[in-house]
Structure 1
Amino acid sequence: MSNSKPVLSSSLGRKLIMSLTGIFLCTFLVVHLIGNLQLFKNDEGYAFNNYAYFMTHFTPIKVVSYLLYASIIIHAIYALVLTLKNRAARPIGYAQFDGKANSKWSSRNMGILGTVILVFLATHMQNFWWKYHNDQVPYIEYRTDLATGKTTSQELDAADFRDYQVTVEDNVEIVKARDLYKQVDFAFQNLGLVIFYVIAMIALSFHLIHGFKSAFQTLGVSHKKYVPLIEFLGVWVFGVIIPVAFALMPLYFYFVK
């Protein structure tokens, strides 16, 4: 009988799972950012509210979202397991070697960064996902003149709302939807929440700068032809552009809207 550990429960197996779920979550960040950029449109939330409905009602997207939730949980659990096992393996510091001298701050504090991000995700889901799915957001009606393309909007009474509706009357397109855009605007008038979101995006930046490159190293992608590209994507795309773009959203609603 073999005494070898199952792959998924071994140290390498756990790192592989961390890497795969991490890369999947990075992919989701790109898609999520593209959708959330609709928040910057000066259209009373028309594009963003349509995007929100599509993301929550299109079946393939819903399936992917469940995979996303599972990946977040698995990624967090395996991160905790790896952190605890690493600490157990080194209960005392080395007498003649300071690991801090040869490791980056982000790599030494991935647990703290991950915890901040996890708290952020819970806060984010409670403020938007939970309220959207439990009918706790306002409603809005958009009327678009199909001849001129001009769109006007007005608040919609809850008694007149029946989920998402699109009708055409007298050459006017009428769209009725949950107004998640207004909920975003309302939430980001809270300065404390805005500051927390910015801090969380800073944590995300450090987490991704270290984690993105580490994930590909774990997967064995270390060819000199690809390493520069991976480092560029990890630092500038996932470590700078994406976190900054997400951080600009609460700042935009608090200081500009």
Structure 2
Amino acid sequence: MSWFTNAMSSTIGKKVLMALTGLFLITFLIVHLSGNLQLLADDGGKSFNIYAKFMTTNPFIKTTSYLLYTTFIVHIVWAVLLTVMNRSSRPVGYAVNPGNVSSSWSSRNMGILGTIILIFLVIHLKNFWYEMHWGDIPTATYEGEVYNDLYAVVDFAFGNILYVLLYTVSMLALMFHLYHGFKSAFQTLGLNHPKYTPMIKTVGYAIAIIIPALFACIPIIMYLK
């Protein structure tokens, strides 16, 4: 396993792992969004609560969630390590920063964007994931079956304008993070090709815009209601 250890300790190895974990997290975002959109169903939270119970009781989903937690941690830790390695390899700043010409704003500020997303993630997990597992959750009954009323928890949180603003700003940061991260992941994995690169960029633009925009719409709509 020494070859694996050596590969993962190198800059290229860390970038490959960042790319793979990033693409996996994008898949999670799509699944998570499809479930969260049920918050907008006009049924008093029934659809969302049924979905939430399935996601928290299905054995396959519960097992996959541990992989998800690990992926989040690896992605964050490797991002920090890469940032430290890049700075240590260039301890003296350039007299003139050429990044404005050769790279996008999002690529030059991935650290800041990632930090904003991390802060949001910690608050988000405290408000929802922690409450779901250890909080005093009200219940709702549908067709004789009792469900945790997680919709009520979400509805309460999205009644706070400060949280709605934090959520919206964080989704804006996520948009720029995805914009750079998606196409960068394919480049890191060596999957760029003149025939497919334009399609990869188009899909990347769509993901970067649509996913954060739909996520941001949920708290805004619920707050206005």
Deviations 1:172-219 (A, max 9, x none): x32211000011000011111000000000000000000000001000
- 8 Å contact 2:40–2:222 — kept in the other structure? no
Residue type matched to 2:19 in 1? S
Which structure features the higher share of helix residues? 2
Structure 1: distance between partners of 2:119 and 2:153: 20
Q: 1:133 maps to what in 2?
A: 133
Structure 2: distance between partners of 1:106 and 1:176: 45
Structure 2: distance between partners of 1:230 and 1:64: 27
2:210 is the alignment partner of 1:255: no
Runs ≥4 residues deviating over 3 A: none
Equivalences for residues 6-155 of structure 1 within 5 A: 6-95=6-95, 98-142=98-142
In the alignment, structure 1 segments of 5+ residues that lack a partner are: 143-172
Rg larger for: 1
The two structures have a TM-score, normalised by structure 2, of 0.95
Deviations 1:108-136 (A, max 9, x none): 11001001111111111111111111142
Structure 2: distance between partners of 1:63 and 1:229: 33
- 8 Å contact 2:128–2:153 — kept in the other structure? yes
Residue type matched to 2:160 in 1? N
Residue type matched to 1:192 in 2? L
Structure 2: distance between partners of 1:12 and 1:203: 25
How far the C-alpha of 1:97 sits from its partner, in A, is: 5.4
Structure 1: distance between partners of 2:84 and 2:176: 21
Pick one of 155, 164, 182 that aligns with 2:152. Answer: 182
Residue type matched to 2:218 in 1? M
Which structure features the higher share of strand residues? 1
Equivalences for residues 159-174 of structure 1 within 5 A: 173-174=143-144
Q: For this pair of structures, how many residues does the alignment match?
A: 223
Structure 1: distance between partners of 2:147 and 2:126: 20
2:163 is the alignment partner of 1:193: yes
Structure 1: distance between partners of 2:157 and 2:163: 8
- 8 Å contact 2:155–2:222 — kept in the other structure? yes
2:172 is the alignment partner of 1:202: yes
Residue type matched to 2:7 in 1? V
Structure 1: distance between partners of 2:50 and 2:125: 19
Residue type matched to 2:208 in 1? G
Structure 2: distance between partners of 1:140 and 1:94: 60
- 8 Å contact 2:138–2:148 — kept in the other structure? yes
Higher relative contact order (CA 8 A, sep 6+): 2
Q: How many percent of aligned residue pairs carry the same amino acid? A: 52
The two structures have a TM-score, normalised by structure 1, of 0.83
